Amino acid sequence: MKYYDRRSGQYVEEKESGQKALDFLYKNPFGRLVLKLAINPAISKVYGVFNNSSFSAKKIDKFITDNGIDMRDFEKRKFTSFNDFFTRKLSDGAREICMEKESFISPCDSKLLAYKITEDLMVDIKGSTYNLAELVGNKIDTSSFNGGWCLIFRLCVDDYHRYIYLDDGRLDKTLEIQGKLHTVRSISKDYRIYKENSRTVSLLHTENFGEIIQIEVGAMFIGKVTNNNKENFKKGDEKGFFEFGGSTIAVLVQDKKIELHQDIIDNSRNDIESKVRCGEVIGRKIC
């Protein structure tokens, strides 16, 4: 799978990280037994406790090497656990956040796909397929977003896992949706995935881009999402962070609020993601 690197202007082949492990989990009978155990809430809780322990710090160096993570952008300190490392902060000046009020920015380091919102739009996020109503847990009316944009920001393991607010504004509503098991889609002719991801939904009233819905998606039982839930926020303020296992943000924007950059639109039409950085301009306000 290739993506477009906006900084270099080149198309890059993405390393299929973890594909062998996924094939084992979904295509091998013993692997499916391991998967069944792994998604057990009790097992996931133990795994989370381990990742927050000092013992887990021993796997940090190998994780950095295996995933080619460039640590020069990040704070230089000793990490007390794997999750402490995974939620690491940037060093000062490592990301330039465009503060022009007309600029629509990326909330995170990620790879981006943009979809025009229609009544029958279906999006695939972390192996689960949703329409917009399902994505927000059927708790928010999304009809006013028809004709707008659904932006899917997919974070990889080597990305910075903290994210920011896109604009000045206020938090109108927040929802926590728990993951659950159900039949979603075929992964092959013989096996199916049974899951719905846990997610946090925020209805944001922004100063320059109207109503925005932002959804942070975790894994089924692991992948904790931590949000600051500020009642009032400023553009560039930290909104929250993912622990290991959570790594997608969906942003819904109403029609005639932003004009996305054309390279993102063109690549998305061809199902090619665009690599973006936290604070980078990806569109402009429609005046």
Q: Which helix (H) or strand (E) holds 264?
A: helix 262-269
Query: Buried b vs exposed e over 118-132: b needs ≥16 C-beta within 10 Å?
Result: eeebebebbbbebeb
List the beta strands (DSSP E) in the chain: 2-5, 10-13, 103-105, 110-116, 122-125, 128-131, 149-154, 162-164, 169-177, 180-186, 192-196, 199-206, 210-217, 225-227, 232-233, 238-242, 248-253, 258-260, 273-276, 281-285
- Asked if residues 225 and 240 have their Cβ atoms less than 8 Å apart, the reply is yes
Question: Beta-carbon neighbour count of residue 57 at 10 Å?
Answer: 17
Q: What's the CA gap between 27 and 161, in Å, rounded?
A: 30
**Is 84 a catalytic site residue?**
no
What is the three-class DSSP state of 54? Answer: helix
DSSP 8-state code for residue 144: G
Q: Are strands 10-13 and 2-5 parallel, antiparallel or unpaired?
A: antiparallel
Q: Which of 44, 110, 198, 247 is catalytic?
A: 247
Residue of 109, 128, 159, 198 with catalytic role: 109
Tell me phi and psi for residue 42, to 5 degrees. Answer: -65, -40
Question: Has 109 been annotated as catalytic?
Answer: yes
Longest Cα separation, the chain: 57
Catalytic residue positions, numbered: 109, 247
